[in-house]
Amino acid sequence: MSPSVSISEALDNAPISRFHTRSIFTAGMGFFTDAYDLFIIGTASTLIAKQWGLTSSQVGWINSITLLAAFLGAIVFGRISDVLGRKRTYGLEAAIMVVGAILSAFAPSFIWLLAFRFILGVGVGGDYPMSAVLMGEFANTKSRGKLVGLVFAMQALGTIAGYVVALALLSAKINPDIAWRIMLGLGAIPAAAVIYMRRQMPESPRFLARVAGRASEAAASMAVYSDGVINISAAQEKSTKMSLQQFLSTPRYLLYLLGTAGAWFVFDYAYYGNSISAPLIVTSVLGSSGSKVLTEAIALQLIVFTVAAVPGYYLAAFFMDRIGHKRLQLIGFLFMGLAFLLIGVIPNVTTLVLPFLLLFGLSYFFAEFGPNSTTFVLAGEVYPTGARSTGHGISAGVAKLGAFLGVFIFPTLKTHLGVAGALEFSFGMSVLGFLVTLVLPEPAGRSLDDISHELDLVESNHREPVSIAN
């Protein structure tokens, strides 16, 4: 008989199977929905503003309220997942997104639309820690970055879907009041499609063994996704439960929070501020306004995103395990920031469509081939099982707070500083993101236990049992 291995060792060495492929789709459709819902609003709000006679401040609230709610959703769902388990809460956040999208499509007024988009945002935020942590805990050490990165890469397809839907409805000259409602309502479809699949996902064996105290059950379930592993020992698993107080009072994890939450915050400020305001930016560069120009701006943005951003998502997923997760984030921040800086300092570049789009596209590529993908992955790797979802949820929540500020502030910066000045500010955010990334360890090629120093908790928990009731 082959030597017994622990549950974690079995997962770390399990080959990729059909289970992993199905998990990528099940988790990834949530990010398809997230992207569609978050980026379609930039177009929809321009139509809503004309219909309801909204001020620029009100439009800013419509564009950003979902992100503010995502701050709450990520933190709440992140902690609940570590207390109750991944499976018990997985699918609930998708159901909330469905409800929020449908209600938004029927909003009768500005206030009601804000309320419904807030509901949507709670689900969007909750999807981040749930999907990242569950996929990461199923993944093996060699391919963890790729598997979790492919989940996040579904964001690219959701963004494209948003641009295509907006172009189709605008080109068809559908009544604007109907068009924006269709745009928002369609966001319910992809989330609804995976609710059942998410409810059928098995519980994470790492959570069962390390937090729930059900190591024997975890070992028995390993046959689903650990082909080739013959002898798994449940006896080798020890409790690494963590209370919220213990997590937030551990210097190592506070430093990691600075790196994961800090880098993600400054990235999302720049990325969401630029992306949701992209029609406004491109329209400004084109130098005119009107529905025809709005359609042209969306079409140009779709081309830039498809050519520059989409390859970045998938190249990041397939190469981050070779390059290094932390290293790729540093590379992305460096070159994304350089593109923002060049837009700001090259004279008159914001009045020249082709040079501007080339630099804007370069910033998009390195956003995806860098921090947009890696912040999501890193935040699910550096924390122990008992606080992994909590740490990811805090990081994702803080990031969405940055996104909220970016979406709300960017139009004001553009008004006072111009497109060049607003993007120079984004360059400063990129520099800050580069610096805080330096505090993180390099997770590529290392087990989750090794990265998070999780087994160091075994002895302390043996001396003094830790509650997860917080």
Query: What's the pLDDT at 462?
Result: 47
CA distance 34 to 37: 5
Q: Is 423 helix (H, G, I), strand (E, B) or coil?
A: helix
CB 57 within 8 A of CB 36: no
72-126 pLDDT per residue, tens: 999 999 999 999 999 888 989 999 999 999 999 999 999 999 999 999 999 999 9
Supply the range of the domain harboring residue 136: 7-463
CA distance 247 to 161: 39
In total, how many domains does the chain have? Answer: 1
Joined together, the tokens standing for residue 94 give 């998708």
Tell me the whole-structure pTM to 2 decimals.
Answer: 0.89
299-318 pLDDT per residue, tens: 777 888 889 889 999 999 99
The CA distances from residue 289 to 83, 166, 276, 406, in Å, are 51, 17, 17, 23
**CATH number for the domain harbouring residue 380:** 1.20.1250.20
Q: What is the dihedral of CA 266, 270, 276, 282, to 10 degrees?
A: 180
In the block, tokens 């993101």 appear at 433
20-75 pLDDT per residue, tens: 999 999 999 988 998 898 888 888 998 999 999 999 889 889 988 998 999 999 99
∠ CA 451-313-64, nearest 5°, is: 90
- On whether residue 469 sits in a domain, the answer given is no
Query: Does residue 224 have a pLDDT over 50?
Result: yes
- On whether residue 447 sits in a domain, the answer given is yes
- On whether residue 80 sits in a domain, the answer given is yes
- On whether residue 109 sits in a domain, the answer given is yes
- On whether residue 231 sits in a domain, the answer given is yes
- On whether residue 168 sits in a domain, the answer given is yes
For residue 232, give the DSSP letter. Answer: B
| Listed range (135-139, 160-164, 364-368, 459-463) with the worst mean pLDDT | 459-463
Task: Classify residue 458 by burial, with Cβ atoms within 10 Å: 0-12, 13-18, 19+.
Answer: middle
Band of residue 375 on the pLDDT scale cut at 50, 70, 90: very high
Q: Is 53 helix (H, G, I), strand (E, B) or coil?
A: coil
Instruction: Please give the mean pLDDT across all residues of the chain.
Output: 86
Q: What is the dihedral of CA 91, 94, 100, 105, to 10 degrees?
A: -130
- On whether residue 166 sits in a domain, the answer given is yes
CB 276 within 8 A of CB 42: yes
Joined together, the tokens standing for residue 357 give 């789009």
- On whether residue 413 sits in a domain, the answer given is yes
Backbone angles phi, psi at 5, to 5 degrees: -125, 160
**DSSP assignments along 130-164, one per residue:** HHHHHHHHHS-TTTHHHHHHHHHHHHHHHHHHHHH
126-150 pLDDT per residue, tens: 999 999 999 999 999 999 999 999 9
